[in-house]
Amino acid sequence: MFIQYNQQMNSFMSFLKHHNSCFSAFLIVLCACSTEDQGVFEPPPESPLIMLTPTEYNNTVQDLLGFSNAANNWPAPDEVGSSAQSSWPWFFPEEAGVQGFEGLSNGQTPSPYQIEQLYKAAAHFARFAIHSPLFYTCDNTESLSEGDLYACGRTSIEQFAIRAWRRPLTSDEQLRIRTFWEDNISEGSFEDAIQISAAAILQSPQFLYRSELGALAQPGQSILLNDWELASKLSYFLWDSMPDEQLFAAAARNELHTQRQLEFHARRMLQDDRARSAIVHFHKQWLGATDLSKVSPARSVYGPLYYDISAEPEFSSIDGTPEDFEWPNILIPLRASMDIETDLFIERTIFDGNGSFSDLLSDNHGYFSKTTRPLYGEDTEQLSDNPLSVTTSTGERLALYPAAFPKDQRAGLLTLPSTLALLSHPVHPAPILRGTFVLKQLACQNLGTPPPGAESEAPPDSIDAQSTNRERTEAVTSAASCASCHDNINPPGFAFEHYDAIGGWRDEDNGLPVDSSGTMTLPDGTQLSFTNAVELSRQLAQSSRVRDCYTLKWTSYATGISIDWNDTSIVPIQNAFRQNDNIQDLLVTIAGSSVFRYRAEDL
């Protein structure tokens, strides 16, 4: 018989009350450390308290419970008594983020709604514990005596906590978990006790946060993180999930804190499919391409690529207004194909190709579907008649064909339709958005805040324009008050004028030849002259400033700290990447670096 809901909540909240009070004390200790740091090496002095991101949370419960990353491989919600619509994943609100990235400590401010969702998610996933192939520490639970079954439940909950908290339990934690288990088992059924205990563990700060305190050091010295902390830091860096058994075993042997040890495991982990997903995820955040539902091209302009928009609509809305249902049915696979083409390009370039940053910004190979085929031009070469069949997020199958695109039209990430479409308006491309993206995301240039009213001065996004997109943009940004910024923003934006608002190639704009030439100055003073986006992309790939910026973003992402451009702690990593732009080698270098393994004394 199930125990009453309020009894469950009382037990649950009692456990959380203790752990949250411990957590508050932990924060007080954390903030009371000495501010002196006289060591030779100075890691960024920020609080190493990082919350699991929505992606990390879902990946972690998947690995913790031992189910695959497909919802249909989990028990159905009604089979475990959950009222959720889907077994997995849980849909959390997005983090505020920093420059498009989740997982940075200064971009994590939990809202009341997020806290509510964390509670609901914990209660939901706890119901799967007794069905998990990894949960029990004993075999054949059905044949155990009541005493042996209860003992098995206790040891299983303790082992669950060790894996969930990603480290051994302290004696105090073990005692409290054991007491909590005994209270629950005395008040309800075995299944109820498992569920409440597991939910409490999943709601605890020890599960939701990664703390990086390290061991005590002499005053003035940087502090080396302990092996368990580094196991988690490495796994969330390269896998977006909890450590595997090899990392746990290395931490238990105290063999996961030197540069060589971290680099060894980093190379091992990069061979796992989880690394592919995690590294694609980083680049999607870098590009701002995590949500392609924002792509909403105008039907009147781009609909004719796919069907006769002048035909009478087949259906009408409830109020009798004609309504075209064909265009939404085009946009759904268009967005899905753009998204998957981006994933495949990143993954294949980094893991199956040369793996270089140069190729990431210059390679002309990729994939297309029948929906994106019109965007790439007639000179695109289909490399195989055997498509790659991929399931979209909505469950449809999509066929993607490997292709070689014209070398004078496509060059890496910056010329992918997804990147270009996200930096466009419904009718016309947006050179200001595209130029700003290049300067901020690739060159790490701080452009400040646009002056009040700047957006209202942008060229109208109208199909009735009488000039080229470039001419209209130049006209509204030529004033002296605008030129100080736009003299540098506009040129890299104009480089992409050969691509329309959905990333399709065009030679003309409004009946006139496209002019995509220009000269831009990087923050380090380097001047880049180009005739189109292909030339610009190839020059950016070779730029020391751009490689340093890419390294900075990866190191910030790996550490969870927004590292300042002038921070000298990452200079050795940047210097190495200038000489060797292999991306996997960069990640290994970051994993073994001092900035990854140490924290500053001043917290």
Q: Lowest-pLDDT range, 237-246, 314-323, 377-386, 587-596?
A: 314-323
Q: Pick the range with the lowest mean pLDDT from 25-34, 99-108, 337-346.
A: 25-34
CA 469 to chain centre: 33
Contact status, residue 443 vs residue 522, Cβ threshold 8 Å:
yes
Structure tokens that stand for 583 in this block: 């991306």
Contact 402, 347 (CB under 8 A): no
Mean local confidence (pLDDT), 521-548: 98
- DSSP string of 115-147? HHHHHHHHHHHHTTGGG-TTT-SSS-GGGS-HH
Are the beta carbons of 241 and 58 closer than 8 angstroms? no
The Cα-based distances of 345 to 13, 280, 496 in angstroms read: 47, 9, 19
What average pLDDT does range 564-576 have in this prediction? 96
Provide the token pair at 54: 């929505």
Q: What is the pLDDT of residues 471-518, one digit of tens each?
A: 999 999 988 878 888 999 999 999 999 999 999 999 999 999 999 999
What torsion, rounded to 10 degrees, do the Cα atoms 160, 164, 168, 170 define?
Answer: -90
Q: Are 262 and 592 in contact (CB under 8 A)?
A: yes
Do the Cβ atoms of 372 and 555 come closer than 8 Å?
no
Backbone angle region of 381, left / alpha / beta, with phi > 0 → left and psi within -120 to 50 → alpha: beta
> Measured between alpha carbons, how far is residue 91 from residues 57, 66, 113, 577 in Å?
10, 19, 12, 36
Q: Are the beta carbons of 193 and 184 closer than 8 angstroms?
A: yes
Counting residues of the chain whose pLDDT is more than 90, the rounded percentage is: 75
- Confidence (pLDDT) at 438: 99
Report yes or no: 367 and 344 within 8 Å, Cβ to Cβ.
yes
Name every residue whose Cβ is closer than 8 Å to that of residue 427 and which is 6 or more positions away in sequence: 297, 298, 301, 461, 462, 463, 501
Of 45-54, 306-315, 415-424, the range with the highest mean pLDDT is 415-424
pLDDT at 153 over 90: yes
Residue position matching structure tokens 């701080």:
446
C-beta separation of 501 from 428 below 8 A: yes
| 520, β-bridge pairs | 528
For range 30-35, the mean pLDDT: 30
| Nearest in space to 371 (alpha carbons), one of 408, 421, 324, 413 | 421
Q: Which of 410 and 318 is assigned the larger pLDDT?
A: 410
Task: Please state, in angstroms and rounded to a whole number, the distance separating the CA atoms of residues 88 and 62.
Answer: 8
What is the average pLDDT across 401-409?
Answer: 98
User: Residue 109: which residues within 8 A CB-CB, separation 6 or more?
Assistant: 96
Q: Which residue has the higher pLDDT, 316 or 205?
A: 205
Give me the pLDDT at residue 219, please.
Answer: 65
Task: Encode burial over 130-159: b for 16+ CB neighbours within 10 A, e otherwise.
Answer: bebeebbeeeeeeeeeeeebbebbbebbbe
Rounded mean pLDDT of the chain? 89
Ramachandran bin of 3, using left for φ above 0, alpha for ψ from -120 to 50, beta for the remaining angles: beta
Residue with tokens 């080698």: 585
Closest alpha carbon to 521 in 542, 479, 477, 490: 490
- In whole angstroms, give the CA distance from residue 462 to residue 426: 9
d(CA 267, CA 259): 12
pLDDT of residue 312: 57
Q: Is the pLDDT of residue 315 over 80?
A: no
The DSSP secondary-structure symbol of 193 reads: H
Q: How confident is the model at residue 569 (pLDDT cuts 50, 70, 90)?
A: very high
Q: How far apart are CA 402 and CA 413, in angstroms?
A: 16
Task: Say how far apart CA 98 and CA 106 lie, in whole Å.
Answer: 7
Number of other CB atoms surrounding residue 542 within 10 Å: 15
Buried b (16+ CB within 10 A) or exposed e, 466-483: eebbbebbbeebeeeebe
Beta-bridge partners for 398:
390
Going by pLDDT thresholds of 50, 70 and 90, the confidence category of residue 109 is: confident
Cα end-to-end span (Å), the chain: 49
pLDDT, mean of residues 317-333: 74
d(CA 398, CA 391): 6
Q: pLDDT value at position 322?
A: 56
